[in-house]
A and B are shown apart, each in its own frame.
Chain A
């Protein structure tokens, strides 16, 4: 496998950026200007204060202290916990699904239909998709109606909605395509002869998955984690519509602060999230460095 990677990288495919050195410099300059500079401004703003809808440009740690005394730190921890749980659930669901799609016994038509169905959510408004679940999960909703009609329960179950479980459920539905598609793409480029050879040599299906498919699809898994964890940390629709105000997440906290024009609080919370994401991916890279190169993660998307 590593020989293959070395060959690929040593092949030296020349991109337009390689041909014109000034292009790469221009790109880096623009990137610094539109991505890095705003982030630095954001961090700088978190060290100012606001008072009664106005910025006060006096350096202070008050905003950061406030994060830890106002309950916003708990919101951050809760957001991190929910986002990571959702990512893990997605991974457990998406890996076998992607395996079935890429290497299972499904026909080309089935595969095409499933892939098309997975892309549908990208074309629909997220609020519209999630609000439908309120009608299904609420006290007088479809599920309670069916359960009561079948005499499985005597009174409606209230906890189907406005709980962390409901928020998890909504997020898993929302972000499933983000996880499954990169893994599917990574798996679909795995050479079938490798799998056949392993089978001919007597490897069990479980051994093939663990020793061949998992390592080769790891870049897709990492890409799936990136694409799921990022939006999950910034979730706004699911906590609002399915959490019913009882599952306060970072996006709600940012929104509330923004409504009072508390830019320093918004900046501190956003900086904290960026820091958290950085730490998570550093840990992820450290843990997986023996198996895969994170920089190769997006290569699977090129196929």
Chain B
């Protein structure tokens, strides 16, 4: 029996609440109320309810219905992992949503506690599972630390930094592998670097740089120990005091503005920020870096809410998960948001079959090549490092320096 004060106990309590709810529904069904008919209608329904980050959404879900007959009811969540997990646990979002879509890491906490179902890899509706590359389906985005498969990969990318090739004197086509030294310790960029001010996004890449350059002993940049976090923050504080950073960035809009105004020469940012800046500055003015050391590789996984098991619509849910692995979703996400994902070859196939322009098809192929090149290097990020409290405390030191 668990200690009442332990971490597990409150989740157990939550689960008990859920069981009480199920029991109550059962009692209603026995009493001949709407209970059974609701479950029956859920089973028959082709609608899947999802709760997750808005970036996983298609701009128009009607294409889904046309190609598969499924219907998506999507509720957007906050990007903040804390808020997301609070919604799953305290607000019991699983009572409403069949699947959750979020950046990798939540499965390490919510999976073992029973909030997510383990994926049934043999489910006949998950047709594309076998042909999905391991680099996606076995990544830390969807597999828990306990080794269980809690999710299906949805989208992902390898984040690095945007830069102006002319300012760094490197090839204008952006094909050069640049070192993260450009961000942290390059005299050419001193005082001209924008650096993201969220600990989760920025501490891992600094750890990766220190590890790769041999300046610090780091086991896993994605999961720093308190001592490692201190080492990384000490380094960042020193660089901040040396005037390396022009500004610490807190939003996507700021990333675009800083690049568009030429206020920084280098910025660790999302790839779409570079695309948006180039719309104003002209194609190829800024580039998104290929790096020597590696990337902040992130991915969104789709996880089945444990409550969905009792609703009887798991077949529909698995059809939806399969759709995330298929060419249509992949092609549309790549075209509309610039994000990659598993089975990019199916996206190319889909685009060709559906008479997309040769430029669009070429662009998809280029995305595939880019992802293959980037994903060969470390590291896969997580939103829930084991020592998040210590890391967050250390990060305050960096912000205050």
Contact = CB atoms under 8 A, between A and B. Distances in A.
B213 to A, nearest CB: 24
B392 A260 contact: yes
How large, as a class, is the contact surface on chain A?
35 or more
A55 B247 CA distance: 34
Contacts, number: 105
Nearest to B85: A53
Contact of A138 (B195, B197, B261): B261
Given A140-B263, A259-B82, A51 B7 contact: yes
Interface of B: 4-7, 10-11, 80-83, 85-86, 109, 191, 195, 197-200, 245-250, 253-254, 257, 261-263, 384, 386-389, 392-397, 399-400
B400 A71 contact: yes
Nearest to A245: B248
A134 B109 CA distance: 40
Interface of A: 50-58, 66, 70-72, 74-75, 131, 134-135, 138-140, 158, 161-162, 240-241, 244-246, 248, 252-253, 256-262
A43 B261 CA distance: 45
Given A134-B257, A248-B399, A261-B82, A66 B249 contact: no
Given A52-B388, A72-B396, A245-B197, 15 more contacts: A52-B384, A53-B82, A53-B85, A54-B11, A70-B393, A71-B400, A134-B257, A135-B261, A161-B247, A244-B247, A245-B245, A258-B80, A259-B198, A261-B81, A261-B85
A244 B249 CA distance: 7
Contacts of A256: 198-199, 392, 395-396, 399
Given A52-B388, A54-B10, A70 B396 contact: yes
A130 to B, nearest CB: 12
Nearest to B399: A248
Nearest to B401: A71
Contacts of A261: 81-82, 85-86
Contacts of B249: 244-245
A58 B9 CA distance: 12
A244 B195 CA distance: 10
A269 B292 CA distance: 41
Contacts of A70: 393-394, 396-397
Contact of B388 (A72, A248, A260): A260
A75 B199 contact: no
Given A134-B257, A244-B247, A260 B7 contact: no
Given A56-B5, A256-B392, A260-B392, A246 B397 contact: no
B3 to A, nearest CB: 9
Contact of A140 (B7, B80, B262, B393): B262
B82 A260 contact: yes
21 contacts: A51-B7, A52-B386, A53-B388, A55-B10, A56-B5, A57-B10, A71-B396, A71-B400, A75-B400, A244-B247, A244-B249, A245-B248, A252-B399, A258-B80, A258-B83, A259-B82, A259-B83, A260-B392, A261-B82, A261-B85, A262-B392
A241 B197 CA distance: 12
Contact of B389 (A74, A244, A246, A260): A260
Pick from B195, B197, B200, B389 the residue with the most CB of A within 10 Å.
B389
Contact of A57 (B5, B197, B200, B392): B5
Given A256-B396, A260-B389, A162 B246 contact: yes
Nearest to B393: A70
Nearest to B397: A71
Contacts of B191: 158
A167 to B, nearest CB: 13
A75 B396 contact: yes
Contacts of B397: 70-71
A88 B378 CA distance: 52
Given A56-B6, A262-B389, A245 B396 contact: no
A259 B384 CA distance: 11
A140 B263 CA distance: 7
A257 B399 CA distance: 13
A69 to B, nearest CB: 8
Pick from A54, A72, A135, A161 the residue with the most CB of B within 10 Å.
A54
A57 B5 CA distance: 5
List the 8 closest A-B pairs by CB distance, nearest first.
Answer: A245-B248, A244-B247, A261-B82, A70-B393, A71-B400, A54-B7, A248-B399, A245-B197
B396 A52 contact: no
B400 A248 contact: yes
